[in-house]
Amino acid sequence: MFKKYAFEACIASVLFIVLFFVILIQIFGRTPLFVGPVWTEEAARWLWVWMAFIGIAAVERDQAHLRMGFLTARLPAPAQRGLAIFFDVAWLALVCHLNWIAWGSIGRTWNNEAVSLPVTDALLYAAAFVGLILIALRILRRLIDGHRDTRSEAEVRL
């Protein structure tokens, strides 16, 4: 049942559902129905960050991110493949550099406690670290697999 979906997409979906309910608690907590917990605002931000980074990794799996290919589409197939490899290597280098920054941020914030959540601030920066690791793994897999196009023929024709 879940084989056609990346595990990253499933995790991002679960995070979205949890985010939805946290925001509902926050909304109803601002009405006379009940006093809302103070942690919902910070938890919503953190869930959003985690969902975004995991979601980017899910999009990277299918190469479904927004791109403009009107110039490269006019090049011969070997040139298109060479450019794709070049861009993937550059993207991988950037992801590795950003991951190094995320790792440093985790170390710097390890002893800081969140404002309203009983966890360390490093957990927030861990979202970038985990998401970027997943993105790097997808890029490496694409490079190792010989840069085959994962899109269907119908999508390529569009």
pLDDT tens digits along 93-146: 999 999 999 999 999 999 999 999 999 999 999 999 999 999 999 999 999 987
The helix (run of H) or strand (run of E) holding residue 80 is helix 77-109
Containing domain of residue 114, as a range? 7-65+76-157
Tell whether pTM > 0.95: no
Q: Is residue 2 part of a domain?
A: no
User: To the nearest 5 percent, what fractions of the chain are helix, strand and coil?
Assistant: 70, 0, 30
Q: How many domains does the chain have?
A: 1
111 within some domain: yes
27 is a domain residue: yes
- In the prediction, which pLDDT does 153 show? 41
**Residues 133, 57: Cα–Cα separation, whole Å:** 9
Res. 152: pLDDT tops 70: no
Evaluate whether residue 70 is within a structural domain. Answer: no
pLDDT at res. 150: 46
